[in-house]
């Protein structure tokens, strides 16, 4: 007899609160695993979907089960899966918009290519902050039609190039800094002054205050004599400054954007990043199967931003979404334990 599965779902567009209901226990198909979720994190996308509904994604089907970040234990392995086995402790990206693939439930189906085993001493709450942040960072940094950087290594060698990552203390920024540093790049980033030390502790060589009136000039000055590897504009409204710095610096002329880029200056290319597209190319396995398991095992990867546990049980998912939406959480990621 299959275990009982429950989910926190959005019954219709813009409904509030989420409803807790029994849902189908999933089975693993080809290249898939079923994970019993121990911790799941909330992300801005979760509250944007609830607030905006069809204005954001007109194709969403309801009831909709959200949640992209999960950590837990593998309970079933489908055909052609060889990177994890039943009983393994893992983290993974819940990358689908289908009900069986949403993280806000007790049992979720994940694609094995975007699942990574985690060490025995890594708490599930810490592991759950990683998947979407590292995926979105990696999509912008490594995909061939984005920045196409050198891949990360647990023994990186400096390559003499410098990248600009705007909003270094954000979830995506935190992961992008760590990845870029692990790929041998010098990292310049921006943050509020209270998060300067945080950004340096994860690999940024210089941090600039994005509240400064001279931020553009400061960055242009810093890039003089540097070989620019491009930029990653993570914070809404930052793209124009990143465009200018990359345009006027020597080197690559590409900016990965967390938003739809508009008014891109001549000589610069820019594209919006979707955090799950790495599942369809070589970047997913490189990050989740080759790099991350070794980096976690060797303590070369910091699971950040730190988890802030908002409660236990699916009933607390809505509380966590509301807290995230309020904007009162900084340099932390809200997590629910199950």
Q: What is the predicted pLDDT for the residue at 114?
A: 96
Q: Are residues 78 and 12 in the same domain?
A: yes
Residue 325 has pLDDT above 80, yes or no: yes
What total number of domains does the chain contain?
Answer: 2
Residue 97 has pLDDT above 80, yes or no: no
Q: Is 248 contained in some domain?
A: yes
Q: Is 282 contained in some domain?
A: no
Residue 330 has pLDDT above 80, yes or no: no
Domain end point (choices 219, 250, 272): 272
Q: What is the pLDDT of residues 210-232, one digit of tens each?
A: 999 999 999 999 999 999 999 99
Which domain CATH number covers 324? 3.90.180.10
Q: Is 291 contained in some domain?
A: no
Q: Are residues 148 and 40 in the same domain?
A: no
236 against 227, higher pLDDT? 227
Average per-residue pLDDT in the chain? Answer: 95
Which neighbouring-strand residues pair with 20? 8
Mean pLDDT on 57-84: 94
Question: Quick one: which H or E segment has residue 333?
Answer: strand 332-337
Q: Are residues 121 and 16 in the same domain?
A: yes
Distance, in Å, from the CA atom of 264 to the CA atom of 255, rounded to the nearest integer, reads 10
Q: Are residues 123 and 178 in the same domain?
A: no
Q: Are residues 124 and 142 in the same domain?
A: no
Q: What is the predicted pLDDT for the residue at 331?
A: 76
Can you list the alpha helix ranges (DSSP code H) found in the chain?
A: 44-52, 124-127, 131-142, 171-182, 196-201, 215-222, 239-248, 283-285, 292-297, 317-325
Mean pLDDT on 327-337: 87
> What percentage of the chain carries pLDDT values higher than 70?
100
Q: Is 288 contained in some domain?
A: no
Q: What is the predicted pLDDT for the residue at 55?
A: 81
Q: Which of 68, 93, 74 is nearest to 26 (CA)?
A: 74
Q: Is 153 contained in some domain?
A: yes
Q: Are residues 169 and 265 in the same domain?
A: yes
Q: Which pLDDT band holds residue 328 (cuts at 50, 70, 90)? A: confident
Which domain CATH number covers 200? 3.40.50.720
Q: Is 184 contained in some domain?
A: yes
Q: Are residues 91 and 18 in the same domain?
A: yes
Q: Is 297 contained in some domain?
A: no
Q: To which residue do tokens 């990965």 refer?
A: 256
Name the 3-class secondary structure at 194: helix
Quote the strand ranges of 42-123, DSSP E: 69-77, 89-93, 107-111, 115-117
Which residues span the domain enclosing 73? 5-130+303-337
Phi, psi angle pair for 48, to nearest 5° = -65, -40
Q: Is 293 contained in some domain?
A: no
Mean pLDDT on 265-285: 95
Q: Which pLDDT band holds residue 30 (cuts at 50, 70, 90)? A: very high
């Amino acid at each position: 007899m299959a275990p009982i599965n429950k989910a926190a779902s959005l019954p219709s567009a813009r409904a509030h609160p989420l409803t807790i209901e029994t849902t189908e226990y999933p089975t693993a198909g080809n290249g898939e695993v079923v994970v019993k979720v121990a911790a799941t994190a909330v992300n801005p996308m979760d509250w944007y979907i609830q607030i905006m509904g069809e204005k954001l994604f007109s194709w969403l089907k309801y009831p909709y089960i959200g949640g992209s970040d999960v950590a837990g234990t593998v309970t079933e392995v489908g055909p052609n899966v060889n990177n994890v086995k039943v009983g393994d402790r893992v983290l993974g990206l819940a990358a689908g918009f289908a009900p069986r693939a949403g993280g806000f439930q007790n049992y979720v189906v994940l694609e094995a290519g975007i699942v990574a085993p985690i060490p025995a001493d890594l708490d599930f709450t810490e592991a759950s902050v990683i998947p979407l942040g590292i995926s979105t960072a990696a999509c912008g940094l490594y995909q061939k039609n984005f920045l196409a950087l050198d891949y990360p290594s647990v023994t990186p060698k400096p390559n003499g190039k410098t990248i600009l990552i705007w909003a270094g203390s954000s979830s995506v920024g935190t992961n992008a800094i760590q990845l870029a540093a692990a790929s041998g790049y010098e990292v310049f980033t921006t943050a509020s002054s209270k998060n300067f030390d945080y950004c340096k502790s994860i690999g940024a060589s210089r941090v600039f205050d994005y509240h400064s009136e001279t931020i553009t000039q400061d960055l242009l000055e810093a890039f003089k004599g540097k070989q620019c590897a491009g930029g990653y504009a993570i914070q809404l409204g930052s793209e124009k400054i990143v465009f200018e710095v990359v345009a006027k610096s020597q080197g690559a002329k590409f900016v990965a954007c967390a938003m739809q880029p508009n008014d891109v200056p001549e000589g610069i290319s820019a594209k919006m990043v979707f955090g799950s597209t790495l599942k369809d190319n070589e970047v997913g396995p490189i990050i989740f199967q080759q790099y991350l398991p070794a980096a976690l095992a060797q303590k070369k990867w910091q699971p950040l931003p730190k988890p802030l546990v908002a409660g236990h049980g699916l009933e607390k998912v809505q509380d966590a979404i509301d807290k995230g939406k309020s904007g009162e959480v900084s340099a932390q990621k809200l997590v629910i334990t199950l």
